[in-house]
Chains A and B, each alone.
Chain A
Amino acid sequence: MKKPDLSKLKDVDFRKAARDFVYGKPHGERRLGDLYIPKTGLYKHREWRGIKDTMYYFNNIWLYNYGMIVRDLMVYGGGPKGAIQFLKGTWRYRWMGQTYLTVMHWFDRCLEGMRGETLKASAWHFRGITSACLYQITGFFNRDLNIGGDPALRAKTIGTDETVWGGIIYPYMDQGGYYLPTQMIPYFVTCHCNNHTVLNYIDAVQAYGLPGDPCPMCQAEAGIYIEDDVPDAYVAMVTTNEACDSSVGTSVIQDWMMNKPLFAMPQVMQFDDDSVLENCAKEIEMAWRFIEEQTGLEFHWDELVKHIELQNQQTRFEWEKWDVASNTSNYPINGVAQALYRIFYSQYGERPFWHEVDAKVRKIMEKCVEEDINTFPMTRHRVIAWSCAPLYYSAWCTWAYNCWGLNTIINMDSLMFDMEIRTDSYEDCLLDCAKYHEWAPMRRMAVGGLQHIFELWENMEKFNCDMVMMYDQLQCKGMQGVVGLFEDEFRARNIHAIWMPHALPDKRTVPRSEIRRIINDYMFTVMGEEPLDPSLLDFDDIDSW
């Protein structure tokens, strides 16, 4: 037997090793890339974050979330029957089994390298998103006639395009009115958890003759209908033109494939114009009437007010968070947690689990501010991310902070829905609801008029950012149409902007490794900087979730 080479021990700094064991290696000495199994993007083992944070991660994130997933399943699903429906749904729907069983790897990727209060606050956001997903998954399966769901529940359920704001159902919630954004769970969240799932749906719609150049998000949304992979859990559908021309095309496919009563609730694009609001408000009223006709539910003004007031609370807290993010170094939420949580709750609408998360996060954030905790101590650049983001690589901002110290403070989609809704009168409320709809994701700035796309400059200033991560969605006609104008402005304003090409859900067009390479190149050659963690510069994760 070969004797161990004890001479190497002479070089070991035991004090430092002990410190690293207790507190974790400091940022700058970590080699997080070494944790991956080559060519998989999967972990050999979890990251050692020091005793306290590793224990927190294991107990309060990993174990806690598994436990809460089971709890949510039983509570939202209504007990054992819900669990059976869940199993049947997992068997029936490709997106379910393929995606959501990998959920904890999603947590790992997005929370990589996080420590202390940042780890805690970011993880709470993921807890909120997971709970919201289970709320919808059980909502789907309990009502789904394809797997023996309850027709009585289905009769009070409206399916919608995922870009229809969930507030549409507020007036009916006390009567069991239920809202299911039909693509959010089968498609949108899947891209983040397991980016392989969606490829099947893109291929399906192209096999039917759709060219490859329309927005791939809309392709995938249409593909789940082509594949008959949307649960039959709702009695009628409300659709919209949000966010772009392709969304209109998706509605056409949805209609032909599902063959249910459908109400189109289009919203105007040039929303600055006050002369257009009245039209949108009337469309919302017509949508309410449609829901009432289809479900037999009645419009309850008090119920609408109740939920809007609760939603306004969420919005006001978001503004508090933005205030901390803008003006301090104490903001404890990483880029991906901030972005996904914000888009999810503001689109899906007010529900109790968001408030529970907000209460936890408020506590953490207040602690950070009171104790002046520098939550991202290795920040070299404060980044604002603009335009529509790569869904298959939403965790890029975690990687960019760990590798380069690029701290993503805010992104464009978080700034949509940036308003309180008045409840002082029906008329004011209705007009504000119309405005809220018009300020939808990828719409408020991306295709709602050039002047809004250029709100980038004032938001850079507001959030105290010195760099732009300019998402370059290759199939977005709206954003591709202004690339030249942006380049002129970046040069004129002397702003460092990295163009990040991507194809929303389709990683085959621009792989994640290519995105990293482009950022690496810019940081080396233009910024002249060296990475904080060279092990993260290049690794092969094409096959990973």
Chain B
Amino acid sequence: MRDLKHLIYFEDLLQEANNELVRKGKEDGNICLGYTCYFMPEVLLDLPGCFAVRLRAPRCTSPDCHYGRSLLERALEGGFNFIDAQLATETCTVTCRFQEHLEYMDDVINNATFKTSFTDVPFKKNENSIDHYRKQLKIKVLDFLANEFGVDTSDKAILKAIEINNEVNDIVTEIGNFRKLENPPITGYEFSVITLVSMVCPKYLIVDKLRETLEEIKKREPDDKPNFKIRVLLAGSENDDPDFIKLIESCGALVVADRHCYGSLEARQHINIEEGEDPLTAVARHYLLTSQCARFMEQQEMRHRKKVLADYAKEYKADGIIVESNKFCEYWSFERMIDTIVLPRDFGYPVCSIEKEYINTASGQLRTRFQAFVESVELKKIQEGK
């Protein structure tokens, strides 16, 4: 396949958190709002006069560093001085500790206007939870932005932000849908880069290039002979490292679906507003109900999310599922273990269970694991006559 026109540009944008477009967004007079977790609705941080940046710590290769520590390390290095506020969610312990360091230590973020806010997120998806989540978003996000930064948080402003987000969501989803084809005109690596830039750049500055990329992919001719042996769904914990996906694909497994933190399958769904619903309730409902996070505790949810994975695998014609968890990620350590048992047993999907570092440094060992998985699935396919 021919290289995507903007791929190198997109890759460059991922090399540092304070990238070219973020700087441009700030120069335009916008407030830059950092966040880490899907449960902090990106759309509310894209209200007029603001833009959301999902924080990453690219190239942080400290051997004892996982996600939260990498973020703190990058913050201590001055890598996040550009954010005007960090809006966190009480979702996993380590990112909470990251947030608390920012709150407690005045000198971590060297930005005079820097503020923090902490939102509680329910562990269930019932009406009580949606109501609670909505209240939290009102107090901890909207009121916070209005009081601290004078941001317009009216329904009209939220509707505008939803519109802008939906435009990006729809473009990325449409690009992602090409992965369902037998011979997709896009790789998992490329799609990961595209998804990530949509999360870490001001949307109004990146949307044109995303649209252009979509048009390019529509016309893009895939290689006649696919250079992958199997198709896989990647599920699991936080992964904002496209090189991890590149590594998987270099072993012969095309990543056709991405249900992990920083992946697209949840984060880039269209936000719908039901009839008679106010925009904030719609946002609360959307983010709570679309998430398949391992922290949801209702019995039906704990069981249902296995089926969701299997359904994604079927929809994207995956031959197997790679379930990854970052080392020290407690939610996904347990979830990965159960996935490894339940997905083959109840849904017939072979599973490769991987524990990884935040930034992929152990590539030799991982390569061996992926190669073995690809071979085993390939053999299975041959035996089944596919």
Which residues does A use to contact B, with CB under 8 Å?
205, 208-211, 213-215, 218, 222, 239, 241, 244-246, 248-253, 255-256, 261-264, 266, 268-270, 273, 275-276, 278-279, 282-283, 286, 447, 449-450, 477-478, 481-482, 485
Determine whether the beta carbon of B334 is less than 8 Å from that of A275.
Answer: no
Determine whether the beta carbon of A210 is less than 8 Å from that of B334.
Answer: yes
Chain A neighbourhood of B342, CB < 8 A: 256
Determine whether the beta carbon of A477 is less than 8 Å from that of B93.
Answer: yes
- The answer to whether B68 has its CB under 8 Å from any CB of chain A is yes
B164 to chain A, nearest CB (A): 29
Chain B neighbourhood of A209, CB < 8 A: 336-337, 340-341, 353
Which of chain A's residues has its CB closest to B295's CB?
A248
Main secondary structure of the interface of B (DSSP, over half): helix
Chain A neighbourhood of B90, CB < 8 A: 268-270
CA distance A278 to B136 in the complex (A): 12
- The answer to whether B77 has its CB under 8 Å from any CB of chain A is no
CA distance A244 to B330 in the complex (A): 9
Chain A neighbourhood of B103, CB < 8 A: 450
Which of chain A's residues has its CB closest to B299's CB?
A262
**Stretch of B127-135, B258-266, B370-378 contacting A (4+ beta carbons < 8 Å):** B127-135
B65 to chain A, nearest CB (A): 13
Determine whether the beta carbon of B327 is less than 8 Å from that of A264.
Answer: no
Residues 129-150 of B, flagged 1 when their CB comes within 8 A of A and 0 if not, give 1011001100100000000000
Determine whether the beta carbon of A239 is less than 8 Å from that of B93.
Answer: no
Chain B neighbourhood of A246, CB < 8 A: 330, 334
Determine whether the beta carbon of B120 is less than 8 Å from that of A269.
Answer: yes
Determine whether the beta carbon of A211 is less than 8 Å from that of B333.
Answer: yes
Which of chain B's residues has its CB closest to A254's CB?
B302
- The answer to whether B229 has its CB under 8 Å from any CB of chain A is no
Which of chain B's residues has its CB closest to A208's CB?
B337
Chain A neighbourhood of B340, CB < 8 A: 209
- The answer to whether B298 has its CB under 8 Å from any CB of chain A is yes
> What's the interface size class on B, roughly?
35 or more
**Stretch of B94-102, B167-175, B198-206, B209-217 contacting A (4+ beta carbons < 8 Å):** B94-102
* Interface pairs (25), CB distance under 8 Å: A209-B337, A210-B333, A218-B330, A241-B123, A245-B330, A245-B331, A246-B330, A249-B334, A252-B334, A252-B335, A255-B299, A256-B302, A264-B124, A266-B124, A279-B128, A279-B129, A283-B128, A286-B128, A447-B96, A481-B94, A481-B97, A481-B100, A482-B97, A485-B104, A485-B105
Chain B neighbourhood of A208, CB < 8 A: 337, 341
Which of chain A's residues has its CB closest to B69's CB?
A481
CA distance A241 to B135 in the complex (A): 21
CA distance A261 to B299 in the complex (A): 8
Chain A neighbourhood of B136, CB < 8 A: 275-276
Partner pick for A214 among B96, B120, B298, B330, CB 8 A cutoff: B330
CA distance A269 to B123 in the complex (A): 11
Chain A neighbourhood of B101, CB < 8 A: 485
- The answer to whether B122 has its CB under 8 Å from any CB of chain A is yes
CA distance A259 to B131 in the complex (A): 30
Chain B neighbourhood of A477, CB < 8 A: 93-94, 97, 328, 330
Which of chain A's residues has its CB closest to B105's CB?
A485
Determine whether the beta carbon of A211 is less than 8 Å from that of B297.
Answer: no
Closest 4 CB pairs of A and B: A249-B334, A481-B97, A264-B297, A266-B123
Which of chain B's residues has its CB closest to A266's CB?
B123
CA distance A205 to B298 in the complex (A): 22
A280 to chain B, nearest CB (A): 9
Determine whether the beta carbon of A273 is less than 8 Å from that of B334.
Answer: no
Residues 292-308 of B, flagged 1 when their CB comes within 8 A of A and 0 if not, give 00110111001100000
Chain B neighbourhood of A255, CB < 8 A: 299, 302-303
Chain A neighbourhood of B337, CB < 8 A: 205, 208-210, 253
CA distance A263 to B135 in the complex (A): 24
